[in-house]
Structures are given as C-alpha cells and as structure tokens.
Amino acid sequence: MMIQDIAPKHLDNHYDPAARPASGDAALHFLGKQLLCRTENGVLRFPTVAELGEGDYTYLFRIDGTAFFLRRDASELTAPGYAYQSIMLFRTARPQENAFAAVTAFHLASWYAEARFCGKCGAETVHDTAERMMKCPKCGHMIFPKIMPSVIVAVTEGDKLLLTKYANRPDTNRFALVAGFTEIGETAEETVAREVMEEVGLRVKNIRYYKSQPWGISAGGLLLGYWCEVDGTDEIHLDRMELAEGAWVSRDELRRVYEDRGVSLTNEMVMEFIRGNNEADC
C-alpha cells in the first residue's frame, strides 16, 4: 500500500474558500520539518483547533468527515500533550490516512511559506478568494501550488534489478532505484534515459510507465514510476559524486534480503519485481 492508498477513505483536495475552522477540526503546524503532533503506540494524532487555540487558520483539505487546517505561524506553538516530531514519521505512522494527511499538509505548508511574497514585484501576497492560489495585490501575479515531476526507474535485465544506494544519507542500508527530477524541455521518458546514464552509465530501452505517487516530502515531488530494460552492455559506471554503490541484484537474492518497506512507490516497484510482475505488462 503506497502512502496515498487510503481507500475507502478519500482525500478531497478541493479548496473551499468558505471553510472556517470548527473546534473539532485537525490543526496542523510545522516548524521547519517538524510537525506538532502526538503518537501513541504508532497512532498519529493532530491537535484539534480547540486544543491549538485561536489564530489564523488556512483551510487545507478534508479526509472523509475531518477538515484539516494549517497554522502558518513562524514561531513555536503549544498544545498540551503535543510535541514537535520529524515529518519523517509519516513512513511508519498509522492510520495511513493520517500519515498521508501529514505529508500532504507538509507539501502545502512548504508552498505557502515560499509563496508569501510576489516573485515579480516583491509585494506581500494574499490568498485568492476562489481557488488555491496566492495572488499579488499590486501586480496581479498568480502563484499556484508547486508540483515537481520526477522519475523512479526500475532498470531490469532478465531476472536482475538495478539497485542504487545513495551516499551521504543517514540510513546507508536503504535500497533505492535510479531517480531524479525532470528538467525543463524534457519528456518524462527522456528524464528516465538521462538519469540512468548519469547515475550508472547505462543505455535503456522499452521504457514503460507504471504508476505515479505524490511525494510532498521532497519540495513537492510527483514521482513517476517507469520500468525499462538495459540496452547493450550492463556494466555499471557509477557517478561517484552521487552514488556510493550500484548493483544488479537477482530476484532470488531480493527475495531473501529485501524487506517490504511500506509506503513508497520505490518499495512497491521492488516488490512487484520480486513477484515477477514487471514482465506482465511488456
């Protein structure tokens, strides 16, 4: 189950200009990458509007009956029983709709923080009265939420999958697939081919789209998953600036060593490869 797979619950992202915070609604506040919340036995809870108290609230979204509001204060807030915790808790927190709410709210909070001033004339922006958009009252410039497409690439050769392990990350045991942001003037398929060439020096063919995933944790990412196969030599040439390790790993070995790591598209694609499902849609 990927982070966004919360059915039968549903995240309604439609901006509702008439929404006003009610005492029982969820109230989210971020300090950098920290979220004011509480976890009890892995269950994530947010303060209510009543618990966080009066202030300036911005409507975010609804999940079924619950409305979520954001406090955009720059300084620390207090709510009895709640503390600031790393937003990375979303990877393991339950229920999954709360984890998805936290990471989606983080994406919006990051964008609201960046959109405070007009990039054209420097005036302070105001929220539009009809849709989710920050507007400049002086020059009329419109700023919409930032969503940045990037690719996750599962390169295969027969029963082998190309795994990369990023350098300079706290968890050095983390398996990863080739990944990177789409650049201006590029199709997503071109991003796939370029990133694989840059990271491991391989040509690829038969590039096939798999699924996408909102990934608000990385500056508003939208991850596009692709399968492809190596074209020609499978000899890896590592980009030493970026990667510590890159390797072909067999399906049998993955079955033994890979743990199902939950909510990411990368994890789902590795698990699909292990089950042999990457061949089915060729």
> Where on the chain is the footprint of Zn ion (CB under 5 A)?
118, 120-121, 123, 136, 138-139, 141
CA 242 – CA 251 distance, rounded (Å): 25
Nearer to Zn ion among residue 113 and residue 139 (C-beta): 139
CB of 278 closer than 8 Å to CB of 227:
yes
CA 5 – CA 275 distance, rounded (Å): 20
What region does 75 belong to: left with phi over 0, alpha with psi -120 to 50, or beta?
beta
| Angle at the Cα of 147 from the Cα atoms of 204 and 103, rounded to 5 degrees | 105
User: 20, 105, 102, 17: which is closest to 54 by C-alpha?
Assistant: 20
CB of 127 to Zn ion, least distance (A): 15
User: 36, 21, 186, 185: which is closest to 109 by C-alpha?
Assistant: 36
Residue type present at position 56: D
CB of 123 to Zn ion, least distance (A): 5
CB of 125 to Zn ion, least distance (A): 8
Nearer to Zn ion among residue 117 and residue 209 (C-beta): 117
CB of 142 to Zn ion, least distance (A): 10
If 0-12 CB within 10 Å is exposed, 13-18 middle and 19+ buried, where does residue 80 land?
exposed
CA 155 – CA 190 distance, rounded (Å): 14
Nearer to Zn ion among residue 146 and residue 237 (C-beta): 146
Specify the residue for token string 């001033």: 117
Nearer to Zn ion among residue 119 and residue 158 (C-beta): 119
Nearer to Zn ion among residue 138 and residue 255 (C-beta): 138
CB of 109 to Zn ion, least distance (A): 22
Nearer to Zn ion among residue 115 and residue 230 (C-beta): 115
CB of 117 to Zn ion, least distance (A): 8
